[in-house]
Amino acid sequence: MLHLFTRSYTTTLLNTPKTACLQPASSSFGIRILQSKRLQPRFFHHNTFKQFPNRKPPPKSGKLTPGPATNPSKNLPSTPQPALLDILKAQGQLSQDEAPRDLSHSQRLFAPFIFTLAVCGGSYYFASTWTPPPLDARIFPALPQSVTTIAAIIAANAAVWFAWKIPLPISWRFLNRYFLCAPALPYSVGLMGSVFSHQSLTHLGLNMFALYVFGSTLCDQIGRGNFLGLYFSSGVIASFASLTHNVLRGRFHVYALGASGAVFGVLGAFTYFNPETKLTFVFLPFIALQAKYFMSGVAMLEAFGIVRGWQTIDNVAHLAGLGWGVGMAYWLEQMVKRRREREAIIAKERALKRWW
């Protein structure tokens, strides 16, 4: 899931200690929009009224009775001191800007576009050149490659989630720069880093559960090289689509993170290769729905969300990942067909040579 966060200052990240979820997460893969709460003005601080426990209101009429001499400075409310966590967040924030920098759309999107092309090209090269390692060279030879591949992705996502929970300014600054996708201050590497970031344990668990359900079968079908190429390319395509959508709409108050784009790419490829597979749901075990109908329903729901302008789910990123997964599955199928045709032609030529 990609998460969209709203901040009081557009490019100042992790600058406030409280965030509130406006809408709960969707039942499948969603993007929750979080809006930071501004701190209350100091003269309304909750400690202000605790400093006058014995103070009486003045009389409604008549003359005021002078009381004993007191020091006025003692009755003034003390200035609240920032908490240690707020100080650490302020030290780890990415930018001090109070408004988005004056950049054109092309200036914001050119470098991310080149990075997206580079990741897709690298994914293609990795998928076309990867060969299964020998059994004695594997770390866990007794486990299927699909299990170890999915487990490695889950471990990487969990490690980044734990890194977000460590209150260190250095780690926060690094994560803000390279593990978020912020339209106000875009960094190209953040398109890929945001795929490994998650806002909550529930968010992480839902994404990784969906990845295990669909990814383990798909990895066995297309191989580890093709699966990893599909996963990373789907993630960066979904992130770039989300960034482009937010930049063109001028939504510089949000930033996105989550693996839903990559997971939707896996879902699209899984459905293409297994359209008749029946899916059952944990809370509705008596309902079995074919994968092609499930994916069609999800796609129509995402398209409806774009038309209606839903703010709680990044429908553009989901549709981009889903479409890329289907397109990659079709390309892999055609590539396998062409390779088999070439192998058949070569086999016929060899048979003719033996006959002559």
Predicted TM-score (pTM) of the model is: 0.74
Domain membership of residue 306 (yes or no) is yes
- Count of domains for the chain: 1
Q: With respect to residue 331, please indicate whether it lies within any of the assigned structural domains.
A: yes
pLDDT number for residue 147:
93
Say what the pLDDT of residue 327 is.
95
Do the beta carbons of residue 157 and residue 192 sit within 8 Å?
no
83 lies in some domain = no
Is 122 part of any domain? yes
> Does residue 36 sit within a domain?
no
Residue 18 lies in a domain: no
CA dihedral 18, 210, 118, 244 (to 10 degrees): -50
Question: What's the confidence (pLDDT) of residue 8?
Answer: 37
Residues 9, 98: contact at Cβ < 8 Å? yes
**Could you tell me if 93 and 14 are in contact, meaning their C-beta atoms sit under 8 angstroms apart?**
yes
Look at residue 20 and give its three-state secondary structure. Answer: strand
Q: Where in the sequence is the domain holding 110, given as residue range(s)?
A: 103-130+139-355
* Domain at 304, CATH number: 1.20.1540.10
Q: Which residues are catalytic?
A: 260, 318
Residue 55 lies in a domain: no
Asked if residue 301 is part of any domain, the answer here is: yes
Query: What's 244's DSSP letter?
Result: H
pLDDT computed for residue 347 by the predictor: 83
pLDDT at res. 78: 59
Residues of the chain with pLDDT under 70: 1-79, 284, 356
